[in-house]
Chains A and B, each alone.
Chain A
Amino acid sequence: MIKRIFADTKRCNGCRICELRCSFEHDRVFGTKLSRIRIIMNEEKGEYRPNTCRLCYKCIKACPENAISKNEKTGAIKIDHELCTGCGKCVEACPFNVMFLHPIKEKAITCDLCEGDPQCVKYCPEKVLFYTTSQEFKKLTS
């Protein structure tokens, strides 16, 4: 069974430490718009929803350069930046708005599951994020 990142959204407090861990892991700098996980914020309601790749693979089909593939080990999306032209077709195709163009490199980026050790999950202070199977997640939060 494939493991994905799940969030117990009710408890997310919007600290966005996950976004910073992500940008640091991938670029060694700190910037929320470099992050592959993004918190959708509704401050009026105090509701914060971590949003990242669900592994639906629609981007693979959408890429005209065959730059996107599946990581055999983790099932994560793999993007070859040598081939990626930054055309944005995958961004349009993503139903969850979790494919982005890197603001500096101008190449497509999305969650790569940190080779099976997602840093956002590891450092979430509220333990809101889980890297697990959908069945396990259901058990954990029911």
Chain B
Amino acid sequence: MNKSKFPYKGYCGKIIEVDLTEEKVEKKDLEVEVAEQYIGGRGLAIRYLIKNLKPKIDPLGEENILVISTGPLTGTLAPSSARYTIATKSPLTGVIGYANSGGHFAPELKYAGYDAIIIKGKAKSPKYLLIQDEKVSIEDASHLWGKDTWETDKILKSEYESSNLQILSIGQAGENKVLYAAIMNNLSRAAARTGVGAVMGSKNLKAIAVSGSGFVEVHNPEEFIEFTNKTLEKIYADPAYPSLSDYGTSFLVDLAYLGGGLATNNNQFGVFDLYDGISAETFYEKYKVKSDSCFACPIHCGKYSRVEEGKYAGIEGGSPEYESIVCLGSKCGIGDLATIIYANDLCNRYGLDTISLGDTVAFAMEAYEKGVLTKKDTDGIDLTWGNQDALIELIHKIAKREGFGDLLADGTKIASEKINEGSEEYALHVKGMEPPAYDVRTAKAFGLGWATANRGADHLSALPNFELLGYPKEKGIEWFGSEKAVDPYAWESKARMTVWHENFGAVVDSAEMCKYTCFSAYAVKPDDMTKFLSYATGMELTEEKIMEIGERIYNLERLFNEREGKAKNSDYLPKRFTEEPLPSGPAKGQVVELDKMLKEYYEIREWVKGAPKKEKLKELGIEQFATKKEDEK
């Protein structure tokens, strides 16, 4: 196996560049400066896109680029580090789009010898990319087109039986360019958000299959393994470990319920009458079969589930996560886990983002409740809250862009603009992307984080779990200078908390470690990450240096948005969260005090109305990417 001469360990030092228009594959060296300034993963992706994409291009046109990137820890024993980022210009939002997924794909790519894959152009007919160590080829996928992600996975594996392929693919939703189509790997792992699957579909690229027989080497194996073992002890000792390990993310349904923020009926309420039907206990007792882990993860929050009775008896597979349970469930008034498991299964096979899908259906249900939509508009489907069959029927129609499904396939923002009649008021989105599960009126840092996330309403950009974990007041003072930091309903100190999480989160996504290791147990903090990265790569890093890298990545993504004319005055929340107090439950009366937090946030970031100041860019060494006046027009 040829190991490259890349000066840092942990990396392969090679990236694959594919031009689908020209049907050409090239292997290029990873730039040393990119590794030093951006680490890899999400950082590598934004650096590549801002340099190589022209502003204002059509996201579904030939000019758009997909970057699939791993981190220097990917493929090692660093806990939960087997993730990858897929980034592009989002067709859903028109700004930076990226999604992140676990499973087993990313380490396999590293073992084949590559840090990243760049996909350019558009194939004339359906293709898939095949990577077997040094051998990289563009193959005919006409027999796969029209197949769902599970079928695609099965067919490709049967064609290359001996080679243990890891596969990412799109389903029919990506082929039909549903604006929130996902890219799936390992059947139930989704790079779900911002419509990355639609971009893959627009390029006629059905799948990427990889097998690798190589390895990842770290700079200091003894220190690395010792520190890994120490971190594992911390993870296992964390009080939240049993919940995540046994119940998976379904335990968050209970946390949201207790705080009065269990999003119900398109976020009209934070209390759900049918909570018992979707609770963690119900999931655990009736549906969970076992754990189903990502590669190299000690937490294994992923679960495998099966429906034993009723009309969906026999449906089994990777379980719906918390986000899917709420967005496909309580947001649509549905309190039946069997239906949610089936809906989630369909989304996985079609390749759909369960968050945007569920939210768009919930939006349509509210429009139906208000009489703005009637059966005449919905192909005769009764969109009453809680109608389980309606959800299932709509998933099929949306994936295929059939009838009423075609309207919903563009997401809430575009759908509401077409429906009109005041529906914009309850079309919930930020920058065009539908919001995640937690009702942020009960978690204010999360609220700010949705507004300021570069890719639109996004819980993972900041993921400020700190405010939710019931920490003592002293810890709030120690970390963020205020005892209010541990009170989820308080807005004070949340700007500082959000900036810190966003910056460190960008580092975590670039090292490609899972945020659950970093922001759930806080088992890997910046000084720990510094150690992991130093021991793995041999770079001379400090805590300050890696936090600056995070800030650099965050600002560069913001510049991407700015040159699309979508940075200034774009950090908002739907009025439902800022002006409509929660009507009942433990959080009755709560709204998000966004303006107060945003003012502080911009001061800390040194941004004006959402756009970075020149001095800030200089300080971060990215002034060459400053937005030119002509770009913004």
Contact = CB atoms under 8 A, between A and B. Distances in A.
Interface of A: 10-11, 13-17, 20-21, 23-24, 27-34, 43-46, 103-104, 123, 125-126
Contact of A15 (B221, B232, B297): B297
B367 interface: no
Contact of B221 (A17, A24, A31, A44): A24
B596 to A, nearest CB: 43
Nearest to A27: B215
A20 B232 CA distance: 15
A43 B293 contact: no
Nearest to B304: A46
Given A28-B221, A46-B316, A11 B290 contact: yes
Contacts of A17: 77, 296-298
Kindly list the 9 A-B residue pairs having the minimum CB-CB distance in the complex, ordered from nearest: A31-B215, A46-B304, A15-B293, A13-B291, A13-B293, A103-B213, A29-B215, A125-B298, A33-B213
A129 to B, nearest CB: 14
Contacts of B290: 10-11, 13, 46
Contact of A43 (B187, B215, B232): B187
A34 B318 CA distance: 28
SS of B interface (majority): loop
B235 to A, nearest CB: 9
B23 interface: no
A98 to B, nearest CB: 15
A86 to B, nearest CB: 15
B188 to A, nearest CB: 8
8 contacts: A15-B298, A20-B77, A24-B221, A27-B215, A43-B188, A44-B317, A46-B292, A104-B1
B429 to A, nearest CB: 33
A30 B215 contact: yes
Interface in B163-204: 186-188
B609 interface: no
B107 A125 contact: no
A27 B111 CA distance: 15
Contacts of B292: 13-14, 46
- Most B CB contacts (10 A, CB to CB) among A13, A23, A24, A33 go to A13
Contact of A16 (B216, B232, B295, B302): B295
Contacts of B215: 23, 27, 29-31, 33-34, 104
B264 to A, nearest CB: 31
Interface string B203-232: 000000000111111100100010000001
Given A16-B104, A20-B77, A31 B296 contact: no
Contacts of A123: 232
A36 to B, nearest CB: 14
Contact of B111 (A15, A33, A43, A125): A33
Given A13-B290, A29-B217, 11 more contacts: A13-B300, A15-B296, A15-B297, A29-B215, A29-B218, A30-B77, A30-B217, A31-B215, A34-B215, A103-B1, A103-B214
Contacts of A126: 291, 300
B76 interface: yes
A74 B150 CA distance: 43
A32 B294 contact: no
A91 B293 CA distance: 30
A27 B296 CA distance: 18
- Most B CB contacts (10 A, CB to CB) among A11, A20, A24, A104 go to A20
Contacts of A14: 292-293
B145 to A, nearest CB: 22
Contacts of B232: 123
Contacts of A15: 293-298, 300
A104 B77 CA distance: 20
A125 B304 contact: no
B114 to A, nearest CB: 14
A30 B70 CA distance: 15
B289 interface: yes
B75 interface: yes
B82 to A, nearest CB: 9
A14 B188 CA distance: 14
Given A15-B297, A20-B76, A46-B316, A29 B216 contact: yes
